[in-house]
Amino acid sequence: MTALVDEVTDLLQQLIRNACVNDGTPESGQEQRSVDLLASYLEGSGLDIERYEPVAGRGSLIARIEGSDPQAPSLMLMGHTDVVPVNPDGWKRDPFGGELVDGEVWGRGAIDMLNETASMAVAFRKLADEGFTPKGTLIYLGVADEEALGTYGAEWLTEHELDAVRADYILTESGGFQMPLPSRSGPKMPVMVGEKGAYWCKIRVNGTPGHGSMPLRTDNALVKAAEVVRRIAEYQPETQIHDVWRRFVEGADLPEEMARMLLDPQAVRSFSQSVEDIGLARMVHACTHTTFAPTILHGGVKTNVIPDSVELQVDIRTLPGQRAEDVRAQLAEALGELFGAVEIEGLADDEASASSMDTPLWETLNRATRQLVPGASTIPFMIVGATDARFFRRKGMTAYGAGLFSDRISFADFSSMFHGNNERIDQESLRLSTEFWGLVAKDLLG
Ligand SMILES: [Zn+2]
């Protein structure tokens, strides 16, 4: 193993051990620990480092290598330092031990996304040490609070310190993994050019209270809610073959039959219901549909009381161009005559976002990918969850999710490790991504 791999492995292990667990409360996360770590790692290479801490403990760090030409495009490498909570019972290793086992680093955040936060920092420091003098400015941002709503991280920075985080191009999580596609011409590495929106809502189902000993023909809110849940779970919204999906399928260079199928709304649906690879099935489905996941149900007050009110929460993810009224129309379709019996309250409404793929950065990513994985090329894809990229796209910046991973971890394992058990990353992927960021910076900023 080279010194570079040791360096990124070590930094990743320390980030994992810092355990900046974000449970959504303002006092969780405590990313300041990793800000201190990153600052001490980056210091000493003559870099300009700034810290931002909107509330105690919720810190972010920005380091810059100033460009020589103010007109030249600038690039920001952004990695979040927080992670989601774990249930250690489901893990084979200590989730915060950062153990290196058989060439893999284990721990919460190894995939999402401390691996990239570490490899970006190592690439950045290496460029600084080499005396890299770019035309356009290169920025590194280690950002807090991605795993909640970005309130103390990307949202705060883009609202209050826009000049500090403004760049023409932003790279963040997460692309460059090998998808199980039968491409006719070499591996196709996804670059995330957009992400779905989130419409979270509360659905209140009302009934009439009564005595639990005489349930016949009562107006039981819980029984009604069960039917509401069933209808939402079984609802099949229209399949949408949108632009990013079309360009993904075209770029993947698939056997003709398969490409035709993935561009045909009817066939896409039956593909995702029948294909064996469950990770692929879920991904294809989520990329081409609005999704509805009932996630929370609260109701009832006492065993012997017929409940008069039940509250259901649904996690709905929208496609580009969809708005709250489109989602409500879909819910009306799903619930049929029950729609009139419920009240819907929106909890969060974050529209989908996308950046153009016709940019110099796109070409740069393609060249760097090809150089490190001969025969590979990049294809556009869409993240079905949410990342900090959305805050920057809303301010008019081009933001992609990128990276470069080895083929050691299968796509099914890769996608199940986000917020899942036994999160781990192989050192070959750490090497690839560290070299990738370096090549990208040199190619774009020159
Ligand atoms: Zn993440």
Band of the pLDDT at 279, cuts 50, 70, 90?
A: confident
CA of 207 to the centre of ligand 1 (A): 41
CA of 110 to the centre of ligand 1 (A): 10
DSSP β-ladder status, 60-65 and 353-354: unpaired
pLDDT digits (tens, 9 = 90+) for 196-254: 999 999 999 999 999 999 999 999 999 999 999 999 999 999 999 999 999 999 999 99
Give percent above pLDDT 90 in the chain.
Answer: 90
State which residues form the domain around 315: 196-350
CA of 22 to the centre of ligand 1 (A): 11
What single-letter amino acid sits at 65?
I
Q: What is the CATH number of the domain that holds 313?
A: 3.30.70.360
**In this structure, are 147 and 27 located in the same domain?**
yes
Q: What are phi and psi of 413, to 5 degrees?
A: -65, -45
CA of 409 to the centre of ligand 1 (A): 18
Last residue of a domain, one of 315, 331, 350: 350
**In this structure, are 125 and 27 located in the same domain?**
yes
**In this structure, are 414 and 294 located in the same domain?**
no
CA of 419 to the centre of ligand 1 (A): 9
CA of 96 to the centre of ligand 1 (A): 17
What single-letter amino acid sits at 199?
Y
pLDDT digits (tens, 9 = 90+) for 425-435: 999 999 999 99
Tell me: pLDDT of 46 over 80: no
Band of the pLDDT at 334, cuts 50, 70, 90?
A: very high
pLDDT digits (tens, 9 = 90+) for 405-416: 999 988 878 888
Distances (CA, A) of 422 to 140, 197, 216: 28, 28, 48
Identify the pLDDT of residue 280.
81
Last residue of a domain, one of 289, 324, 350: 350
Identify the pLDDT of residue 411.
81
CA of 23 to the centre of ligand 1 (A): 14
CA-CA distance, 56 to 61, in Å (whole number)? 14
**In this structure, are 203 and 316 located in the same domain?**
yes
CA of 218 to the centre of ligand 1 (A): 46
Tell me: pLDDT of 179 over 90: no
pLDDT digits (tens, 9 = 90+) for 375-391: 999 999 999 989 999 99
Side-chain half-sphere of 176: how many Cα atoms within 13 Å? 30
CA of 107 to the centre of ligand 1 (A): 14
Identify the pLDDT of residue 61.
98
Q: How large is the average pLDDT for residues 66-87? A: 97
CA of 385 to the centre of ligand 1 (A): 9
CA of 150 to the centre of ligand 1 (A): 11
CA of 387 to the centre of ligand 1 (A): 6
Identify the pLDDT of residue 201.
96
Last residue of a domain, one of 301, 316, 350: 350
**In this structure, are 227 and 84 located in the same domain?**
no
Using DSSP's 3-state secondary structure scheme, residue 318 falls into strand
Domain count, the chain: 2
Which two three-digit tokens encode residue 121? 């920092």
Identify the pLDDT of residue 133.
94
Tell me: pLDDT of 8 over 90: yes
The length of the chain is 446
Is 186 part of any domain?
Answer: no
Is 189 part of any domain?
Answer: no
CA of 145 to the centre of ligand 1 (A): 10
**In this structure, are 335 and 380 located in the same domain?**
no
CA of 116 to the centre of ligand 1 (A): 10
Identify the pLDDT of residue 178.
86
Tell me: pLDDT of 393 over 80: yes
Tell me: pLDDT of 1 over 60: no
Mutual orientation of helices 243-251 and 278-288 as an angle, nearest 10°?
A: 140
CA of 155 to the centre of ligand 1 (A): 15
Tell me: pLDDT of 292 over 60: yes
CA of 355 to the centre of ligand 1 (A): 19
CA of 103 to the centre of ligand 1 (A): 22
Average pLDDT along the chain: 95
CA of 331 to the centre of ligand 1 (A): 29
Burial of 57 (0-12, 13-18, 19+ CB in 10 A): middle
Is 95 part of any domain?
Answer: yes
Name which residue leads in pLDDT, 2 or 11. Answer: 11
Q: How large is the average pLDDT for residues 156-171? A: 98
DSSP class of residue 89 equals G
Q: What is the CATH number of the domain that holds 112?
A: 3.40.630.10
CA of 79 to the centre of ligand 1 (A): 8
Is 236 part of any domain?
Answer: yes
CB–CB of 364/169 below 8 Å? no
Identify the pLDDT of residue 416.
84
pLDDT digits (tens, 9 = 90+) for 345-371: 999 889 999 999 999 999 999 999 999
CA of 340 to the centre of ligand 1 (A): 38
CA of 88 to the centre of ligand 1 (A): 19
Q: How large is the average pLDDT for residues 288-306? A: 96
CA of 184 to the centre of ligand 1 (A): 31
Distances (CA, A) of 237 to 139, 262, 290: 41, 17, 7
Query: Beta-carbon neighbour count of residue 320 at 10 Å?
Result: 18
Distances (CA, A) of 97 to 53, 88, 225, 413: 27, 11, 43, 20
Band of the pLDDT at 48, cuts 50, 70, 90?
A: confident
**In this structure, are 200 and 118 located in the same domain?**
no
CA of 48 to the centre of ligand 1 (A): 26
CA of 418 to the centre of ligand 1 (A): 8
Give percent above pLDDT 70 in the chain.
Answer: 100
pLDDT digits (tens, 9 = 90+) for 129-154: 999 999 999 999 999 999 998 999 99
**In this structure, are 57 and 81 located in the same domain?**
yes
Is 105 part of any domain?
Answer: yes
**In this structure, are 426 and 296 located in the same domain?**
no
CA of 338 to the centre of ligand 1 (A): 37
Band of the pLDDT at 47, cuts 50, 70, 90?
A: confident
CA of 257 to the centre of ligand 1 (A): 35
Give residues with Cβ within 8 angstroms of 230, minimum separation 6.
none
**In this structure, are 311 and 420 located in the same domain?**
no
Give residues with Cβ within 8 angstroms of 50, minimum separation 6.
61, 62, 63, 164
